[in-house]
Structure 1
Amino acid sequence: MDTISFFPPHEGMSLSDLADLCGAELDDPSFAERRVTGVAPLSGAGADEITFANSRKSLPDLKKSRAGAVFVSANNSVHAPEGVAVLVTEAPQTAFALAAAQLVPCSMQPMVLGGETGVVSTGAHVDPDARLEPGVTVAFGAVIGAGSEIGAGTVIAAGAAVGPGCRIGRNCHIGHGVSIQHALIGSGVIIHPGARIGQDGFGYAPGPKGLLKIPQIGRVIIQDDVEIGANTTIDRGALDDTVIGEGTKIDNLVQIGHNVRIGRHCVLVAQVGVAGSATIGNGVMIGGAAGVNGHVTIGDGVQLAAMSGAATDIPAGARWGGQPARPMRGFLRDAADANARAFGKEKRQKGDGKK
């Protein structure tokens, strides 16, 4: 198969400039003027590319690397082969991310497929009562409802729909097939293809003839610099609002129920489910496929392990895991005990078989 890259190479940056940009120290000053034009994984980086080694698990690949340069911690720098420039930093992955943003800038925003930027396609429908600042891109097949307001530099991709009265800030990207309704969105927000924002929440009450639908009349408020993954759903509030705090990053296939409040700079990994009226503090990290029960409070800085179930409140700064979630030390002890019992049972069964 032909080698095809969708991201063109950079004209190049010197390692001295990259070191200054990323707060790293170039181990051998003789490499200061070496230029790199791209980024690559440690195992496949070439002489004009930069990479990183983040842990001792990376050492086998680091020892065989042919990269032009590598970000690495001081402890692991001695393992870099001769000829590979070493940029020493306490946070190799963070330094690499900063370098990659400079060397592959077009990867930092979703692509605009077809048409020019800053132009409203003749194949889009923009209601006459909508207000678009100069420089808004509206691609073919997109729909902008009456009374909506969209800020300069924002892209509404093909097939996206923005409902009546919504507000979207500046320099946002609303991906292909996204639907937005009953929502106020800040600036610098990225919403990836297929996401659903602001549909009614899941609310019913028992009635004499079955379930009665409870009207959902709240909003979704998404603050600045939030990123929302593909096919994620965020329900609008029932009576109050659903709120996603500034700088929070939400992965693909996440479900956020009505009236949920998520703080600033949180991370929610794929397939997380957050039930209605849960409150999540600032700087919380929730691993993949974890669940958060309705009406519980997750304190600031909590780390919740993948595939855990948070059924009760979790205090600030705690690390919990398991089903149901509990402090990590107890969870790991229980897991070790369960493994030991399983191993003992297997050993006994093998012994019985020999008899």
Structure 2
Amino acid sequence: MASLCGGELLNSAIADRRVTGVAALKEAGPDDVALYENPSYSPDLAVSRAGLIVTSKRHAASIPEHFPVLVARHPQTAFGQIGRSLFPTATKPASLLTAGEISSLASVHPSAFLEPGVTIEPFAIVGARAHIGTGTVLASGVVIGEGCQIGRYSYIGPHVSVQHALIGNSVVLHPGVRIGQDGFGYVPGPAGLEKVVQIGRVIIQDGVEIGANTTIDRGAVRDTVIGENTKIDNLVQIAHNVTIGRNCVIVGQVGVAGSVTIGNGVAIGGQSGVNGHVTIGDGAQIAAVSVVAGDVPAGARWGGTPARPVRDWIREMAQLKKLGKTARRDERDDG
């Protein structure tokens, strides 16, 4: 484990100890690896029986001597590496069928092309001229629309619908994801609202993972694009014409309005909203429950409603708190 994550065992005498699982600090037993990186978990540490604790150099001294300790520069990353080594099949959902099996209860259009090794579970539907790559799994209830292409070794979860889309290799779509439906486009007309045609596609590049019940709309007249290795949480809405770069993290219940451009390596905290036609630069971070109303510079850390630089936001919140205290004191004095 130490070699795997580039860490250091503080007691080399326990180097031959075997561990077989990972667990939360409080529930960990003698065969489990646990993570300790925050003093707020000290009560859990006091009752833990973990067989190995992964921590940082900063917190190692606070761990009782009877625990085996592995010190890593980035404990959370190291803990993730250990977990993947112990449970290699848990990194990607598995099919209920044998690899390469196509259920007799599935419906595959005669013009669809399936490379060898595609697995299709019962009640999945593959439309005309669709192309599915080897090693890909289509779970039960999946609908793949006409002309869609899905690369190799991807997993399309139960009840996912894919329309007007090109999907790369090693992509994971969790249950209930909706890809490629019409975006929300209307203009006022003589008789009321008139629909703006939605004729673009969704392009999802290699290594993307999209959480359950997330929706990604097709472009109106250009494509919606999700960049390589980006990870999107559950219950996220991505509107038409949005471009998201590589290696981004978008947390649950985020809403991104139409024609937004998000750079590479951007992180957006949960329940945040991004206004239409906004650009968020490479490496920017948006705090949870923020509203992004204007462009965000590359590398910036913004938060609040409307979002602004985090330092300004914290300073303003402190001033408001101070004003509130003053107002309450004045009310008491007047009384």
**TM-score normalized by the length of structure 2:** 0.97
Paired amino acid for 1:115: L
Deviations 1:66-98 (A, max 9, x none): 100011111211222233211111111100000
Q: Does the 8 Å CA contact 1:63/1:79 hold for their aligned counterparts?
A: no
2:40 maps to 1:62: no
Q: Does the 8 Å CA contact 1:63/1:80 hold for their aligned counterparts?
A: no
Q: Counterpart of 2:171?
A: 189
Q: Does the 8 Å CA contact 1:101/1:108 hold for their aligned counterparts?
A: yes
Q: Counterpart of 2:73?
A: 90
Q: Secondary structure at the match of 2:13?
A: helix
2:148 maps to 1:166: yes
- How far 1:347 moved relative to its partner? 4.2
Give the whole-Å Cα distance in 1 for the aligned partners of 2:302 and 2:139: 39
For residue 307 of structure 1, the aligned residue among 277, 289, 310 is: 289
Q: 1:65 to 1:79 in 2, by over 3 A?
A: farther
For residue 257 of structure 1, the aligned residue among 239, 246, 249 is: 239
Q: Counterpart of 1:296?
A: 278
Q: Secondary structure at the match of 2:61?
A: helix
For residue 243 of structure 1, the aligned residue among 205, 225, 229 is: 225
Q: Counterpart of 1:223?
A: 205
Q: Counterpart of 2:320?
A: 338
Q: Secondary structure at the match of 2:316?
A: helix
Written as runs of structure 1 = structure 2, the 5 A alignment for 1:202-221 is 202-221=184-203
Q: Does the 8 Å CA contact 1:273/1:290 hold for their aligned counterparts?
A: yes
Q: Counterpart of 1:269?
A: 251
Paired amino acid for 2:62: H
Q: Does the 8 Å CA contact 1:143/1:160 hold for their aligned counterparts?
A: yes
Q: Secondary structure at the match of 2:54?
A: strand
Q: Which runs of 4+ in 1 moved over 4 A?
A: 347-352
Paired residues, number: 335
For residue 105 of structure 1, the aligned residue among 84, 88, 103 is: 88
Deviations 1:190-237 (A, max 9, x none): 001001000011111211111111111100000000010101000000
Written as runs of structure 1 = structure 2, the 5 A alignment for 1:5-44 is 18-44=1-27
Deviations 1:243-280 (A, max 9, x none): 00001000011000100000000011111111100000
For residue 284 of structure 1, the aligned residue among 255, 258, 266 is: 266
Q: 1:339 to 1:133 in 2, by over 3 A?
A: same
Q: Give percent identity, aligned residues only.
A: 57
Q: Secondary structure at the match of 2:29?
A: coil
Give the whole-Å Cα distance in 1 for the aligned partners of 2:5 and 2:331: 57
Paired amino acid for 2:252: A
Gaps of 5+ in 2: none
Q: Counterpart of 1:4?
A: none
Deviations 1:17-57 (A, max 9, x none): x1111111111110110000100001111000001112232
> Which sits farther off after the overlay, 335-344 or 27-36?
335-344
Gaps of 5+ in 1: 1-17
Paired amino acid for 1:89: A
Q: Counterpart of 1:8?
A: none
Paired amino acid for 1:327: P
Paired amino acid for 2:58: N
Q: Does the 8 Å CA contact 1:42/1:51 hold for their aligned counterparts?
A: yes
Q: Counterpart of 1:121?
A: 103
Paired amino acid for 1:86: V
- How far 1:102 moved relative to its partner? 1.2
Give the whole-Å Cα distance in 1 for the aligned partners of 2:332 and 2:169: 63
Give the whole-Å Cα distance in 2 for the aligned partners of 1:56 and 1:80: 10
- How far 1:118 moved relative to its partner? 1.8
- How far 1:338 moved relative to its partner? 1.6
- How far 1:351 moved relative to its partner? 5.7
For residue 148 of structure 1, the aligned residue among 114, 122, 130 is: 130
Deviations 1:119-143 (A, max 9, x none): 1100000111111111111000100
Q: Counterpart of 1:325?
A: 307
Give the whole-Å Cα distance in 2 for the aligned partners of 1:329 and 1:82: 40
Q: Secondary structure at the match of 2:2?
A: helix
Q: Does the 8 Å CA contact 1:198/1:219 hold for their aligned counterparts?
A: yes
Give the whole-Å Cα distance in 1 for the aligned partners of 2:171 and 2:191: 43
Q: Does the 8 Å CA contact 1:21/1:99 hold for their aligned counterparts?
A: yes
Q: 1:343 to 1:104 in 2, by over 3 A?
A: farther
Q: Counterpart of 2:116?
A: 134
**TM-score normalized by the length of structure 1:** 0.91
